[in-house]
Chain A
């Protein structure tokens, strides 16, 4: 599926295409679920904490960290969640355990996160047409770099920005300005943004005047009102087939 949402927008060959990472290049939910289950099993084995207690306490620690840090990269940090989780349960500073749980999480996560079909083909295609490609993503740099390395994309992009670099998550405009900066482009250039989240990717990219594409997974809704993307698509093959005419 590829659909024009904003009838006023017309496509032209872009100077750069910016991609979100999580849930845009790969499906987030199943990987996250598998990883959290693995942590849950480990917590049970290591600390004898049952599932119910784990889930409640973990939710609480997540809430606390998010509240404490606001919309920043480290507010997504599993390490902080697990540290707080152990503290709430009265385990004090069990640093090794926190590190171990974090590692268990990401190891399992990556092993269950396949790139969406067509991503590699699309990136290769854009590069072959001399279009710059970049990443703008929330979360801390270390894990996002590990992810891209896992996908064998560590040398693919022309620029890479995480919200850790500017201290605030998308939709903060500084994320997008920084990536333009790194690419050596300005707002006057024709920029495309591809992301799954209307509330961060789509509205955020509008701050630099980008043409926005929402990747729709399963039952997700297309943004409406001020969150409305210019285009929506459900898989990268369709995306590529539909943009090919405008690029050639």
Chain B
């Protein structure tokens, strides 16, 4: 054998594990890039170096001492054991889960220490545990965001001095709850609601203040069509997990003393404005409520927005807490997320904050003992150097909070006001569909409700705006094509009202119907594109054409929308003019034709024949990806016509595509599809599904364009 069998086995096992962590192809690529990157190795090296040579002071006097005491007495209740051994009451204000997860490797090290009569392996075990969950947070971030560069992610998280400082120099262990939180959120996004609830439960159980994230998650779930119906399961599983992991010790005095009544909890009420003798305004709850309200007020929240808002919520809390270096670990993954979203803007606003954070904490918080240097580096530098300038401390602290506040403001402005991948639907999206559309095809537009969810589309039918019977003096044929036989100004007005968010009343055959204003407005009928003012408000203009030969199949002869009825020459000419103008106005047009026209003439029975679909759309948009997917995934036949000087490209698509095919292609073509559609979208089969798909790609592109071109403050 040319290379070690065990080694390959380990690699194989590792691949298995990470492939569970990342089922998605893009995630795999990101993982591969990350593991290969020099930045990753660099970050790993620094971590290992610090774990081996530096022992953070708080780990020495608190965490390791606590675990040591519990191991020495072999007690099930570590808090009791610790207090019995005369340990510090502040040593371990975390839940049992924190203890359990840190226990195995630390115990292993502890046993080794006992055997070899050393005092190193326990702390290695402890440090390695931190490293594992630190790496876990990195994986969690990858699971949450697939579309960003690995390099940026490594710079922002893995090589961040703040992360390294908190976990390996100062030595906080918030890494575990943060890991549970991030991983729980990624599971939630993948609709693994039970597991997500368990992870969130574990997060709260290991550190109670993680509870602060729950209201934000609640708002997100309530607003998310896809996840809304899983609310109960999610919260039940959080509660059950929390309950069962906290239950065994809830009655223990030592647990109550060290965890439930710890001074960290009191910090919540330590910052206040005094309103005279005995009234205080506690700032933290006030700010927390305010940030919840701001998030609640958002029209629609998707994943990006949600993550940034949790980060913002945490951040605003930290600004009104007495300085506590470990707590900043909570906001880091969200700051990373924000950084990746806003790229260049980020550094300017966060660098001062990070810089002051590190300066302040190096000066005033405890550090770590370096094993090969004989200087008490575990002391705060201010003590080490022996200067004591309380004014400097206050100035630095003010700087810290001020720069933090600026980061918060930037996050709010960029992330939330400017919005994210798809605009927050503050503006309605109006789509006009024109042409002689048989009911059979008309269903396609209704079927968009199976994608966007009920109460997401306002439908307007041009035929509902036909002028009343009093206008009967118009000729029969004219009454169909002539725009004057429709109340188009009323239609336009209604569209603008709906687009403005107002509901409208329609009066049809003396009965009044109310149409609510939803995210999408579909206007449907032969004159949807006829008037300029109407066209101007339409975000997407679609024209539909049915091959003449198919009229028999699609229209019954006495149908009101029957183009078949045009017999005389002048009528035909008018009809052709109509078709031409609508085609010209459209951004996107579909034509349905029979695959083989000769067969039709001989056929007597009305059976829908095999059809092909002609599509006109803007050149250079997504037709190449579409063609690739249709050919490779569905084995369809496609002709492309693309004249070099035309802005449009013409496709002729032939073949059978199932709704599963369409669903899969949609996932390939549309980024962040899950933000756009409901949980289990129901696609149509065949060319109807294709039409849905092509329209949806256009819609997603419009929403994206709108969000990226929007100005921000």
Contacts and interface: CB of A to CB of B under 8 A. Distances in A.
Interface of A: 1, 3, 5, 30, 100, 103-104, 106-107, 110-112, 114, 117, 142, 146-147, 149-150, 152, 218-219, 222, 232, 237
B661 interface: yes
A117 B29 contact: yes
5 contacts: A142-B635, A146-B631, A147-B632, A150-B629, A222-B2
A106 B660 CA distance: 12
Contacts of A112: 25
A146 B29 contact: no
A74 B12 CA distance: 32
Q: Which 5 A-B pairs have the closest CB atoms?
A: A150-B632, A149-B632, A114-B25, A146-B632, A218-B12
Given A107-B661, A146-B635, A149-B631, A219 B25 contact: no
A30 B19 contact: yes
Contacts of A107: 633-634, 660-661, 664
A148 to B, nearest CB: 8
A5 B2 contact: yes
B645 interface: no
Contacts of A1: 3
B620 to A, nearest CB: 17
B114 interface: no
A103 B29 contact: no
A179 to B, nearest CB: 23
B628 A150 contact: yes
A232 B12 CA distance: 18
Interface in B1-58: 1-3, 8-9, 11-12, 15, 19, 25, 28-29, 32, 36
A117 B29 CA distance: 8
Contacts of A3: 2-3
Contact of B628 (A103, A117, A152): A152
A103 B658 contact: yes
A141 to B, nearest CB: 12
A4 to B, nearest CB: 9
Interface in B632-669: 632-635, 658, 660-661, 664, 668
A17 B1 CA distance: 26
Interface of B: 1-3, 8-9, 11-12, 15, 19, 25, 28-29, 32, 36, 628-629, 631-635, 658, 660-661, 664, 668
B556 to A, nearest CB: 29
Contacts of B668: 111
B495 to A, nearest CB: 39
A149 B28 CA distance: 21
Which of B11, B32, B632, B658 has the most C-beta atoms of chain A within 10 angstroms of its own C-beta? B632
Contacts of B629: 150
Contacts of A222: 1-2
A100 B2 CA distance: 45
B628 A149 contact: yes
A222 B660 CA distance: 39
A146 B11 CA distance: 32
A222 B5 CA distance: 12
Nearest to B12: A218
Contacts of B19: 30
A241 to B, nearest CB: 12
A153 B12 CA distance: 28
Given A1-B3, A117-B29, A218 B631 contact: no
Which of A103, A107, A232 has the most C-beta atoms of chain B within 10 angstroms of its own C-beta? A107
A103 B8 contact: no
Contacts of B660: 104, 107
Which of A5, A110, A149 has the most C-beta atoms of chain B within 10 angstroms of its own C-beta? A149
Contacts of A150: 628-629, 632-633
A3 B3 CA distance: 9
B683 to A, nearest CB: 13
Contacts of A5: 2
Contact of B9 (A30, A110, A219, A237): A219
Contacts of A142: 635
Contacts of B635: 103, 106, 142, 146
A81 B427 CA distance: 52
A117 B661 contact: no
Contacts of B32: 117
B658 A100 contact: yes
Contacts of B1: 222
A103 B25 contact: no
B628 A218 contact: no
Nearest to B26: A114
Nearest to A221: B1
Nearest to A107: B633
Contact of A219 (B8, B633, B634, B658): B8
A219 B14 CA distance: 12
A225 to B, nearest CB: 15
B636 to A, nearest CB: 10
Given A100-B658, A114-B29, A152-B628, 4 more contacts: A107-B634, A114-B25, A117-B29, A232-B2
A111 B24 CA distance: 10
A149 B633 CA distance: 9
A110 B633 contact: yes
Given A103-B634, A107-B633, A114 B28 contact: yes
Contacts of B36: 237
B530 to A, nearest CB: 41
B372 to A, nearest CB: 36
A155 to B, nearest CB: 11
B627 to A, nearest CB: 9
A111 B658 contact: no
B436 to A, nearest CB: 32
Contacts of B15: 218
B467 to A, nearest CB: 49
Nearest to A5: B2
A237 B37 CA distance: 13
Contacts of A146: 631-633, 635
A232 B28 CA distance: 24
A104 B8 CA distance: 34
A219 B661 contact: no
B37 to A, nearest CB: 13
A111 B632 contact: no
Contacts of B631: 146, 149
A101 to B, nearest CB: 11
Nearest to B15: A218
Contact of B8 (A117, A147, A218): A218
Contacts of B661: 103, 107
A68 B454 CA distance: 53
